[in-house]
Amino acid sequence: MISHADVAIVGGGVIGLTSAWFLAKEGLRVVVLDQGELGAEASWAGAGILPPSSWEHAHTPFDRLRAYGRQHFAAVSQELLEQTGIDNGYRVCGGIEFLGGGDEALAEEWGGPGVERRRLDDAAAHALEPLLAPHLGDAIHLPAMAQLRNPRHMKALEAMCRLTGKVELRPRTMVRRWQREGEGIALDLEGNVLHAANLVVTAGAWTGPFLEQTGVRLPIRPVRGQIALLNPGRQMLRHVLAWGPRYLVPREDGRILVGSTEEDVGFDRKTTDEAIADLVALATRLVPALAETTLEKRWAGLRPAIAAGLPAIGPIPFIPNAFVAAGHFRAGFQLSLGTARAVVDLVLNRLSPLPLDAFRLERFA
């Protein structure tokens, strides 16, 4: 166990582990601390939808951050597979967004500027997905929609961090107190002290309380999302189907994730019969043949929701060499590669291709 690191990362979700890997690629020695198991919170629970995005056409800060990821996800997934032997399930499966579930603006948001899309009537939607219910109304086809399988991606990231030989992973290690120590940071780990030249806080929904001791107010709160997993035993769908903020994500083995709720219930990740029944009802409404399907599993995760929408990625005001990357709400996987790139640029104090000013914490002062 090392006592001096170049970077200490608090939180081993998708943002923390991707950042640790990218920092290690730059030759830095990193320690990742998680109060629980690595990748077991929101990052395990999510659906892994990766909407299409075009780097050339992305102009808003959010679009740039997302497009950076979409530009690199295929290569990153291939690298993870080659190095760790773990297939994270990254597949370009296409998506169908029904306009009856929300409005066209939402479909625009998922599509993003410069993204291939085609309007579908009922007949055209059936040609793509023959088991759809009739008369669901017009929809948008997004051929470049992709997905990955969260638990596998997290396992691959963990294995990749170990393979670098530069990252020490410490699950079941809660960081309660920390303080400035010259130009660096000292973290109190229940008896041990870890000295780090830099601190990166990637504590998801817990980031607000974690920063309280600094006097920095970061309005991040947990928003529960429940998921029902159906297992029809055969492949019935190929595309991600989106109905407003809810969706069906078909996996290659035939399983279908149905998500998700948005609930303000604090740090409570129980599931409820009512919400799961609503999700299953949506699934059978869109695909009636799912009516006979068994519910294999149900779970919930706590999304880190942030006031003002954009995630917080930047220096912690008045504390040198301390940074935050949190508040990714419904988009943590889509934004994970861009965020990790931003973290590297911040720690190494170098120019970034990403519009980092838009994500600074000073917005909340």
Cα–Cα distance, 77 to 157 (Å, whole number) = 10
| Backbone angles phi and psi of 10, in degrees to 5 | -100, 105
Of 73 and 84, nearer to ligand FAD (C-beta) is 73
70 is an interface residue for ligand FAD by CB under 6 A: no
Distances (CA, A) of 5 to 8, 95, 164, 195, 332: 6, 43, 15, 6, 26
- In whole angstroms, the minimum distance from the beta carbon of 205 to ligand FAD comes to 6
Binding segment for ligand FAD (CB under 6 A), chosen from 43-51, 77-85, 94-102, 349-357, is 43-51
Of 73 and 117, nearer to ligand FAD (C-beta) is 73
196 is an interface residue for ligand FAD by CB under 6 A: no
- The DSSP line for 297-324 is EEEEEEEEEETTSS-EEEEPTTSTTEEE
46 is an interface residue for ligand FAD by CB under 6 A: yes
Query: Quick one: which of 75, 174, 277, 308 contacts ligand FAD (CB under 6 A)?
Result: 174
Of 94 and 225, nearer to ligand FAD (C-beta) is 225
- In whole angstroms, the minimum distance from the beta carbon of 33 to ligand FAD comes to 5
- In whole angstroms, the minimum distance from the beta carbon of 257 to ligand FAD comes to 9
8 A C-beta contact, residue 39 and residue 156: no
Contacts for 185-194: CB closer than 8 Å, 24+ residues apart: 185/8, 185/319, 185/321, 185/322, 187/8, 187/10, 187/33, 189/33, 192/1, 192/3, 193/3, 194/3, 194/4, 194/5, 194/8, 194/31, 194/33
Cα–Cα distance, 108 to 356 (Å, whole number) = 24
- In whole angstroms, the minimum distance from the beta carbon of 136 to ligand FAD comes to 21
Count residues near ligand FAD (CB under 6 A): 43
Of 153 and 166, nearer to ligand FAD (C-beta) is 153
175 is an interface residue for ligand FAD by CB under 6 A: yes
Binding segment for ligand FAD (CB under 6 A), chosen from 38-46, 314-322, 340-348, 349-357, is 38-46
Of 184 and 259, nearer to ligand FAD (C-beta) is 259
Query: Quick one: which of 64, 255, 328, 341 contacts ligand FAD (CB under 6 A)?
Result: 328
Cα–Cα distance, 72 to 75 (Å, whole number) = 6
45 is an interface residue for ligand FAD by CB under 6 A: yes
* Residues 79-118 close enough to bind ligand FAD by CB under 6 A: none
Cα–Cα distance, 354 to 133 (Å, whole number) = 42
Evaluated on CA atoms 243, 311, 328, 146, the torsion sign reads positive
| Binding positions for ligand FAD, rule: CB under 6 A | 10-16, 33-36, 40-43, 45-49, 174-175, 202-206, 210, 225, 227, 259-260, 301, 303-304, 326, 328-334
